[in-house]
Copies of this chain bind each other. A is one copy, B any other.
């Protein structure tokens, strides 16, 4: 390399895709705070305080609640590889890309995987699992709470009872859910759960909040074989994040600053307020899209508040619309993954990005682009419908 690459100069984007989402300016500033050592008394106390905030958000008393030093996918891998030993039976519920990924991860951990499939956009009822549970006698059942590829919200409470009645551990992907809606780890008896920093927590990608129940941790400590990943071995991570603070790896100091600030912002706002904000902006977006003839990809009874996967209208060019949104308006939305490629848009209203102004900016820009491509709709209808939703029932 004889020449230097250009100076860092990222364009300003409004992040309304499936994540990373809008980052709160205070989180960006926190990332730039002066670095201390990973065993500095200040950092150890920051880790403890962050664990406390994560317990609050996960609604759990689990001592082993922390952040994996990598992105959400490593969070998935951490829960699977710790609980599974070669030959163990595991059921994975698949109704989108991330259930599919869990099958792959579990297979690599040596699990004897039974997959239970539902069509994309649908969710699982307890009845869908009964037969597999009886046949597979699983050690672990894995499921995705908020399927980012389809926008479907999976209810967990009843399925958890069924899983525990079958003597299995309950493993949940909450990557997109955490911070945008209640995630009740203790109430729903979740044994292992992971999330990502870059969705409703309004922090850049790079950390995976996770929590293990005492029962799950006991399973890890009683393993016959070592956890296949040294980096993700919860028996060692428990000593690093626990009272002993035994050196394991070098903690990602500045990313931890960012996540700390992000969690603090959520607790300052109040969890219930944050959840209601997500729900309200979702309702407004949904009303706006409906008014211009755009339907949700997932079952309407189970749409996620923070991730809106919608059908691309007939005759509309996916890449053209997304390209113009990005290049003319600076708005990023996501395309479809897997079976939904070219057929679905994914519009994120996550964390700091879940704001009225963003809903209206997106709808306004989309109307302009759809009109250019000849889509028939009443101009202004999406904005009117969204604003009617914000105004509340009295206005209608």
Residues of chain A whose beta carbon lies under 8 Å from any beta carbon of chain B: 1, 4-8, 10-13, 15, 17, 19-20, 23, 28-38, 40, 42-43, 46, 49-50, 52-53, 55-56, 69-74, 76-77, 101, 104-105, 107-109, 196, 198, 204-206, 226-231, 247-255, 257-258, 260-261, 264, 267-268, 326, 332, 337
Query: Could you say which residues of chain B place their CB within 8 Å of the CB of A257?
Result: 8, 10
Whether the Cβ atoms of B205 and A250 lie closer than 8 Å is yes
A367 to B359, CA, bound (A): 62
* Complex: chain B residue closest to A55, CB-CB: B1
Smallest distance from the beta carbon of A348 to chain B beta carbons, Å? 10
Whether the Cβ atoms of B31 and A254 lie closer than 8 Å is yes
Query: Could you say which residues of chain B place their CB within 8 Å of the CB of A15?
Result: 35-37
Query: Could you say which residues of chain B place their CB within 8 Å of the CB of A36?
Result: 10-11, 13, 15, 332
Can you add 8 more A-B contacts, CB < 8 Å, to A29-B32, A105-B230, A108-B229? Answer: A10-B42, A10-B43, A15-B35, A19-B250, A109-B228, A196-B250, A204-B254, A228-B228
Q: List 19 A-B contacts (CB under 8 A).
A: A6-B49, A8-B33, A8-B257, A11-B36, A15-B35, A23-B35, A28-B35, A36-B332, A69-B71, A69-B74, A70-B231, A71-B251, A76-B230, A107-B226, A108-B230, A196-B250, A204-B252, A204-B254, A254-B255
A253 to B71, CA, bound (A): 11
* Complex: chain B residue closest to A230, CB-CB: B105
Q: A31-B254, A253-B20 are in contact. Are A37 and B13 (CB under 8 A)?
A: yes
Whether the Cβ atoms of A40 and B13 lie closer than 8 Å is yes
* Complex: chain B residue closest to A109, CB-CB: B228
Whether the Cβ atoms of A249 and B8 lie closer than 8 Å is no
* Complex: chain B residue closest to A57, CB-CB: B1
Whether the Cβ atoms of B32 and A72 lie closer than 8 Å is no
Query: Could you say which residues of chain B place their CB within 8 Å of the CB of A260?
Result: 5, 8
A31 to B255, CA, bound (A): 9
Smallest distance from the beta carbon of A111 to chain B beta carbons, Å? 12
Query: Could you say which residues of chain B place their CB within 8 Å of the CB of A70?
Result: 69-70, 74, 231
Query: Could you say which residues of chain B place their CB within 8 Å of the CB of A326?
Result: 40
Please pick, from B10, B35, B50, B228, the residue contacting A34 in the complex, using a CB distance under 8 A: B10
Whether the Cβ atoms of A74 and B249 lie closer than 8 Å is yes
* Complex: chain B residue closest to A250, CB-CB: B205
A337 to B8, CA, bound (A): 38
Whether the Cβ atoms of B11 and A250 lie closer than 8 Å is no
Whether the Cβ atoms of B38 and A34 lie closer than 8 Å is no
Query: Could you say which residues of chain B place their CB within 8 Å of the CB of A50?
Result: 5
- Name, among A17, A35, A74, A268, the residue most crowded by chain B CB atoms within 10 Å (CB to CB): A35
Query: Could you say which residues of chain B place their CB within 8 Å of the CB of A33?
Result: 8, 10, 28
Whether the Cβ atoms of B204 and A35 lie closer than 8 Å is yes
- Name, among A5, A206, A231, A247, the residue most crowded by chain B CB atoms within 10 Å (CB to CB): A231
Whether the Cβ atoms of A250 and B42 lie closer than 8 Å is no
A248 to B70, CA, bound (A): 13
- Name, among A33, A101, A105, A204, the residue most crowded by chain B CB atoms within 10 Å (CB to CB): A204
Query: Could you say which residues of chain B place their CB within 8 Å of the CB of A12?
Result: 34
Query: Could you say which residues of chain B place their CB within 8 Å of the CB of A4?
Result: 264, 267-268
* Complex: chain B residue closest to A204, CB-CB: B254
Q: A4-B268, A228-B108 are in contact. Are A249 and B71 (CB under 8 A)?
A: yes
Smallest distance from the beta carbon of A17 to chain B beta carbons, Å? 6
- Name, among A46, A53, A230, A257, the residue most crowded by chain B CB atoms within 10 Å (CB to CB): A230
Q: A10-B34, A252-B204 are in contact. Are A49 and B5 (CB under 8 A)?
A: yes
Q: A38-B205, A107-B226, A230-B105 are in contact. Are A252 and B52 (CB under 8 A)?
A: no
